[in-house]
Structure 1
Amino acid sequence: MSIFVTGVGVALPGADTAAALAAAVSPVGSVDPAAVLGKKGLRYKDRATQLGLVAGLRVLTDAGLWRDGVLNVDGNRVAVLVSSNLGNVDTACRVARTIADEGTRGLSPMDTPNASSNIIASEVAIRFGLHGPNLMVCNGPGSGLDALRWGAALLRSGRADQAVVIGVEPDNEIVRELVGGPVADGGAALVLERSEAAEARGATVHAEIGGHVRVAGPAAGYERLAAGEPAPLTGWFASGAAAEVLPAELPGHDLSAIWGELSGALGLVQAAAAIGGFAAGARGPVCLVAGSDDDDGSAALVLRPPAPAAPRPAAV
């Protein structure tokens, strides 16, 4: 069974499509969730949740699953997976500070639900009527690629026909204090789909999910996937120290150098940028790598370009 990418959604400053992301050289402005979603229902949602909803709407629309405000597939068969390491940490810190200073009576009933660690995944599911498996992945630098792997696993097990996988991080004062610098205020999303389901509804295929590994270092992950891939890898995406140990003879892309710390959004942003490259003519599989030798683990995943469309029979 093949797992296809049938939707791409991007929510980064100045980049709202995979093509724009692939061509971006610096952030421009900021993402305005109200302009995309409308103001209704956003008032009490934290920044990370709002950004996740933007990416969710864009990816569902791109996949053809959301038209005129309606989901056109069985929501019980659509899974949601969100990767975010920093997501609602500002809310959690604010709630903890209020309890310390004022006790529980000082808490706002509108604010405390946002302190739940799975708030982004839950809100995406509620907003779009996605009632399949729902997972929040907060697993360090490899989190986004791990979320893609878990999404593919849910599809292969028959638990869902489509999986909406989102990676998102907010930029705010508390987050900057924790990571020591600017954070990419946004993220990206993919719709993964079982090949049979995609073919049955005539979905456009943007890419195919290849192998995934979790190892002790980025070089080892890259080498294992390269050895198992039928076609030679033609490039890679990695950030910081991980980029320094990957093959210099192949085209490499460090998206953190453009967007700042991507954390849990890294793997999804890498995948969206790679798909933007495929749409622009790049050919051959690429390796996405997250995590360095200094981290407790690294993840790597192969993304393959879509197969060329079969030629139509000549008219008689």
Structure 2
Amino acid sequence: MTAVVVTGAGIAVDGLRGPADLLQPYRRHEDGFDPETGLRGRQFRHRDRASRLASRAATTALRDSGLLGEDGSYRGESLRTATVVSTNTGNLDSICSFLDTIAEESASLLPPTGLPNTSSNVSAGWVAIDHGLRAPNLTLSNGPTSGLDALQWARRLIRHGRADAVVVTGVEPDNRYVRKLLDDNGETHWPDAAAAVVLESAGAARHRRARVRLVLGEYRRAGTARAAASAVTGEAVATLAEPGIRPGEVLDLSAWAGRQSGALGVLQCAAASARIDGGEGSALAVSCGLPGAAAAAMAFAGPGAEQP
């Protein structure tokens, strides 16, 4: 089968400077991304917070992959570049604020420029509009597995000939509506966070002489996180998961990014790209083991590894 590789990665996480910061316990850096200044600008007018975060991360990933020119123009084949976004609370604030306005005042006071933000696919739409990407465009809101599921859906788009490249973005904003939802579920608050990776077929990456950061490996879904991890064959040098999923050391991004975060799987992929960074080694990402929710696992390896 066609090998699918990561050629670019970028993040827009409150206080972090780039994917390498994902490999350390979370802390805000003074020179890190600041949502209060980094989400401003004329190009972001009328966009919801999640879409602005997603656009920042996606643009950074595309630039990292070499697919953006110095003037910001897209160098790839726009008709063959798809967009996949994973989020569980992305436009929750837009929907709730609309409902608040209707309940407390009148539907006639709803801002027409805000209506597109009530669409669950709005962030994916803005990423595509930013760069003129015209292949399939979709959003996954599938609970804790969303990010890894998005990577798998993107791989399918490439393998089935629907796209040569896919921008995969995971995003979860921090706002009062999200905080209330997390409080109701007994979960800790997360910071504004988005991560994006650029996936391409190995052949397309070779053709344009792109640097391959890592290769997508085996993907499995199961009833529990431990079962999903066990179903992925091979030994991973690094495990990106909650503690207890596998023996040994793990990098638990969910401790700050959230167990229910739709951005988690893409953050894990960005972290793996920073750890492997075109060299040798392997990593295993696992979604969180929430009661009653399915789990997913995906392996990553260096470009020299043979992958399906």
TM-score normalized by the length of structure 2: 0.91
**Structure 1 CA distance for aligned equivalents of residues 229 and 258 of structure 2:** 23
Larger Rg: 1
**What amino acid maps onto 2:224 in structure 1?**
G
Task: Quote the residue 2:208 is aligned against.
Answer: 201
Task: Quote the residue 1:185 is aligned against.
Answer: 192
Candidates 251, 254, 276, aligned match of 2:252: 254
Query: Which whole-Å deviations, capped at 9, do the CAs of 1:65-107 have from their partners, x for residues lacking one?
Result: 1112110111110000000101110110011121223332121
The equivalences for 1:29-178 within 5 A come to 31-32=33-34, 39-67=41-69, 68-178=71-181
Output the aligned Cα RMSD.
Answer: 2.0
**What amino acid maps onto 1:157 in structure 2?**
H
Task: Quote the residue 2:226 is aligned against.
Answer: 219
Check the 8 A contact 2:6/2:273 in 1, yes or no: no
Structure 1 position 139, deviation (Å): 0.4
Check the 8 A contact 1:87/1:169 in 2, yes or no: yes
Check the 8 A contact 2:167/2:197 in 1, yes or no: yes
**Structure 1 CA distance for aligned equivalents of residues 145 and 272 of structure 2:** 17
Check the 8 A contact 2:57/2:195 in 1, yes or no: yes
Deviates more, 1:272-281 or 1:176-185: 272-281
Structure 1 residues 42 and 293, CA gap change in structure 2 (3 angstroms): closer
**Structure 2 CA distance for aligned equivalents of residues 84 and 8 of structure 1:** 18
Q: Percent identity?
A: 38
Query: Which whole-Å deviations, capped at 9, do the CAs of 1:160-196 have from their partners, x for residues lacking one?
Result: 0000000011011110000113123112111000111
Check the 8 A contact 1:170/1:185 in 2, yes or no: yes
Matched, 1:303 2:300: yes
Deviates more, 1:30-39 or 1:91-100: 30-39
Check the 8 A contact 1:65/1:71 in 2, yes or no: yes
SS at match of 1:110: helix
SS at match of 1:10: strand
SS at match of 2:113: coil
The equivalences for 1:289-300 within 5 A come to 289-292=286-289, 294-300=291-297
**What amino acid maps onto 2:124 in structure 1?**
A
Task: Quote the residue 1:313 is aligned against.
Answer: none
**Structure 2 CA distance for aligned equivalents of residues 178 and 224 of structure 1:** 32
Structure 1 residues 304 and 66, CA gap change in structure 2 (3 angstroms): same
**Structure 1 CA distance for aligned equivalents of residues 258 and 86 of structure 2:** 17
Structure 1 residues 184 and 262, CA gap change in structure 2 (3 angstroms): farther
TM-score normalized by the length of structure 1: 0.88
**What amino acid maps onto 2:300 in structure 1?**
L
**Structure 2 CA distance for aligned equivalents of residues 80 and 133 of structure 1:** 6
SS at match of 1:264: coil
Query: Which whole-Å deviations, capped at 9, do the CAs of 1:114-162 have from their partners, x for residues lacking one?
Result: 1111100001101111111001010000000000000000000010000
**Structure 1 CA distance for aligned equivalents of residues 134 and 99 of structure 2:** 31
**Structure 2 CA distance for aligned equivalents of residues 205 and 160 of structure 1:** 18
SS at match of 1:158: coil
Task: Quote the residue 1:19 is aligned against.
Answer: 20
**Structure 1 CA distance for aligned equivalents of residues 98 and 271 of structure 2:** 36
Check the 8 A contact 1:183/1:261 in 2, yes or no: no
Q: Which runs of 5+ in 2 are unaligned?
A: none
Query: Which whole-Å deviations, capped at 9, do the CAs of 1:2-61 have from their partners, x for residues lacking one?
Result: 100001011112323222322354234674468657611212111111100100110010
Q: How many residue pairs were aligned?
A: 298
**Structure 1 CA distance for aligned equivalents of residues 197 and 72 of structure 2:** 19
**Structure 2 CA distance for aligned equivalents of residues 112 and 15 of structure 1:** 31
Check the 8 A contact 2:254/2:288 in 1, yes or no: no
